[in-house]
């Protein structure tokens, strides 16, 4: 792990050429503007761990906003600035870089948002969460690639420790407790014993209660967005943190094994080429809440900033999951498109996946593939065709298209002629219904 002198060679070797070039551009600009510029945080940590990470965070000793503005001009991009915090984001094409002015933070009271004051690199790094995230690489020309490690972050990376920089770190910002768990489990590290003690103390002092639910939820989503969140969620259980995050949750072996089944299922679906645009964090959240009671799910839904569709999906899965799952087993014996539609229509993709976690991947894939085919079925006639019959777009129009689709799913119609005939038949039936004394169908 320990680099010999400069990290220049490692950077050049590992980075995609465009990113390497970008660091060169930053370096030249730093010279021209006569300020110290460093790449910091997760990028440096992951470079030393040989993990890909293309997220560049820069710290500027000097005027970060002026630097970001000049960089945006050089790259032909845009800059968004937050004067109050001395930070900016440079955006060009699909890429972005965060730029901060070297700063030191004060917390007016525990768990508050920080006050900021311009300062130097060491102090900027000291306000960070863990030693492994407080490493920097100098980008100025003569020192390009030099690793700056004030707090023995490199040693902790080698030994696999998550360590805070000062005792009150978790009290000042309790989100760091969740971040510590996330990094610990991601890299197979350990929260260093004294740091763990500080975390336990902050938990016992109920510091997590001081955080807003929006901030807590953002951290939870980050954990649920890890490649395999189950071990971190188990750690949350061990440390007694669910009582602040989701007191309704009952952690059982079943929940844990269902969570563990998600990554292989998603991977198998990917390998099978299903191309599902599923958001994994939602799948995990749905698996977590699947066995909760209605009132508990409502409580989770009101506490956190969840969209109505996700809340609804949580309720549907909890209430109907087992029944639908059983019907799907029967469906596998004798698959029929329209029955699949009646079972799964209205389910968001993530809820469908959460529903299927208990099955062998091959079965789950067969169901999802059949469901994709069902959803792709469209009637051959379209809105324009219907207009030639004098129909006007509106609810009636949509209903006819919907029914045509169902007829196709059930194999009632095969070509456009069949569909024309069916529409005309419906219209004739309707006309006779409207006529006084007409037959009612
Ligand atoms: P990831 O790989 O998850 O993106 P990251 O380290 O890049 O990890 P970010 O959340 O993007 O994580 O944060 C960037 C850097 O900002 C961190 O490396 C850390 O130095 C610092 N940081 C982020 N959150 C905190 C926090 N709550 N307290 C102190 N420092 C933080």
**Closest CA to ligand 1's atom 16:** 41
Q: Is the pLDDT of residue 215 over 60?
A: yes
Which atom of ligand 1 approaches the CA of 179 most closely? 27
**Closest CA to ligand 1's atom 11:** 42
Q: Is 290 in the pocket of ligand 1 (CB under 6 A)?
A: no
Task: Report pLDDT for 392.
Answer: 86
Task: Report pLDDT for 338.
Answer: 84
Q: At what angle do helices 230-238 and 253-271 cross, to 10 degrees?
A: 160
ipTM of the complex, rounded to two decimals: 0.98
- 390-434 pLDDT, tens digit per residue, is 888 888 888 899 889 888 988 889 999 999 999 999 989 988 887
More confident residue, 3 or 6: 6
Q: Is the pLDDT of residue 107 over 80?
A: no
Mean pLDDT confidence for 267-288: 96
**Closest CA to ligand 1's atom 5:** 42
Which atom of ligand 1 approaches the CA of 176 most closely? 27
Ligand 1 centre distance from Cα of residue 425 (Å): 64
Q: Is 133 in the pocket of ligand 1 (CB under 6 A)?
A: yes
Q: Hey, what are 379's tokens?
A: 């009637």
Q: Is the pLDDT of residue 441 over 70?
A: no
Q: Is the pLDDT of residue 364 over 60?
A: yes
For ligand 1, pick from 44, 129, 151, 164 the residue to mutate: most ligand atoms within 8 Å of CB: 129
Ligand 1 centre distance from Cα of residue 179 (Å): 8
Which CA distances in Å does 293 have to 37, 288, 300, 356?
53, 12, 11, 20
Q: Is the pLDDT of residue 4 over 70?
A: no
Which atom of ligand 1 approaches the CA of 53 most closely? 2
Do residues 286 and 280 lie in contact, with contact meaning Cβ atoms separated by under 8 Å? no
**Closest CA to ligand 1's atom 9:** 42
Domains of the chain: 1-156 (3.30.460.10), 160-244 (1.10.110.30), 253-376 (1.20.58.1960), 383-434 (no CATH)
Which atom of ligand 1 approaches the CA of 127 most closely? 29
For ligand 1, pick from 45, 114, 124, 128 the residue to mutate: most ligand atoms within 8 Å of CB: 128
Task: Report pLDDT for 61.
Answer: 93
Nearest to 217 by CA among 175, 280, 251: 175
Mean pLDDT (the chain) is 93
Nearest to 397 by CA among 358, 430, 369: 430
Q: Is the pLDDT of residue 103 over 80?
A: no
Q: Is 185 in the pocket of ligand 1 (CB under 6 A)?
A: no
- 248-263 pLDDT, tens digit per residue, is 999 999 999 999 999 9
Q: Is the pLDDT of residue 438 over 50?
A: no
Which atom of ligand 1 approaches the CA of 183 most closely? 3
Q: Is the pLDDT of residue 225 over 50?
A: yes
Q: Is 149 in the pocket of ligand 1 (CB under 6 A)?
A: no
- 333-356 pLDDT, tens digit per residue, is 998 888 899 899 999 999 999 999
- pTM of structure: 0.88
Task: Report pLDDT for 37.
Answer: 96
Mean pLDDT confidence for 308-314: 96
Task: Report pLDDT for 430.
Answer: 85
Q: Is 98 in the pocket of ligand 1 (CB under 6 A)?
A: no
Q: Is 235 in the pocket of ligand 1 (CB under 6 A)?
A: no
Ligand 1 centre distance from Cα of residue 204 (Å): 24
74-88, 309-323, 419-433 — which is least confidently predicted?
Answer: 419-433
64-78, 100-114, 139-153, 195-209 — which is least confidently predicted?
Answer: 100-114
Q: Is the pLDDT of residue 435 over 50?
A: yes
- Distance, in Å, from the CA atom of 353 to the CA atom of 427, rounded to the nearest integer, reads 40
């Amino acid at each position: 792990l320990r680099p010999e002198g400069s990290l220049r060679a490692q950077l050049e070797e590992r980075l995609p050429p465009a990113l390497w070039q970008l660091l060169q551009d930053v370096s030249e600009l730093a010279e021209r503007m006569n300020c110290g510029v460093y790449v910091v945080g997760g990028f440096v940590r992951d470079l030393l761990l040989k993990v890909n990470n293309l997220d560049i965070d820069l710290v500027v000793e000097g005027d970060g906003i002026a630097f970001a503005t000049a960089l945006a001009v050089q790259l032909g991009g845009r800059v968004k600035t937050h004067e109050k915090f001395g930070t900016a984001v440079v955006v060009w094409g699909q890429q972005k870089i965060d730029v901060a002015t070297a700063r030191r933070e004060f917390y007016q009271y525990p768990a508050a948002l920080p006050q900021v004051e311009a300062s130097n690199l060491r102090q900027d790094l000291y306000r960070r969460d863990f030693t492994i995230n407080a490493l920097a690489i100098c980008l100025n020309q003569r020192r390009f690639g030099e690793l700056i490690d004030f707090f023995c972050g490199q040693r902790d990376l080698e030994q696999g420790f998550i360590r805070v920089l000062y005792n009150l770190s978790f009290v000042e910002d309790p989100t760091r407790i969740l971040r510590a768990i996330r990094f610990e489990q991601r890299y197979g590290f350990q929260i260093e014993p004294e740091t763990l003690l500080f975390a336990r103390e902050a938990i016992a002092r109920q510091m997590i209660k001081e955080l807003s639910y929006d901030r807590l939820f953002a951290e939870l989503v980050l954990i649920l967005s890890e490649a395999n969140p189950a071990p971190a969620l188990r750690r949350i259980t061990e440390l007694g943190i669910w009582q602040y995050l989701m007191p309704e949750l009952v952690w059982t072996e079943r929940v844990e094994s269902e969570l563990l089944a998600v990554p292989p299922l998603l991977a198998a679906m990917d390998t099978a080429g299903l191309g599902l645009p599923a958001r994994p964090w939602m799948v995990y959240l749905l698996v977590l809440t699947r066995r909760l009671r209605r009132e508990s799910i409502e409580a989770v839904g009101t506490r956190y900033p969840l969209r109505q569709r996700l809340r609804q999906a949580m309720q549907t899965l909890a209430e109907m999951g087992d029944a639908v799952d059983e019907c799907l087993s029967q469906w596998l014996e004798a698959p029929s498109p329209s029955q699949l539609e009646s079972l799964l229509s209205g389910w968001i993709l993530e809820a469908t996946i959460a529903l299927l976690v208990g099955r062998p991947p091959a079965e789950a894939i067969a169901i999802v593939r059949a469901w994709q085919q069902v959803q792709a079925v469209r009637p051959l006639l379209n809105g324009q065709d219907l207009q030639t019959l004098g129909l006007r777009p509106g609810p009636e129009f949509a209903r006819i298209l919907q029914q045509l689709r169902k007829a196709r799913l059930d194999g009632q119609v095969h070509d456009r002629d069949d569909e024309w005939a069916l529409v005309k038949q419906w219209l004739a039936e309707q006309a006779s219904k409207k006529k006084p004394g007409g037959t009612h169908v």
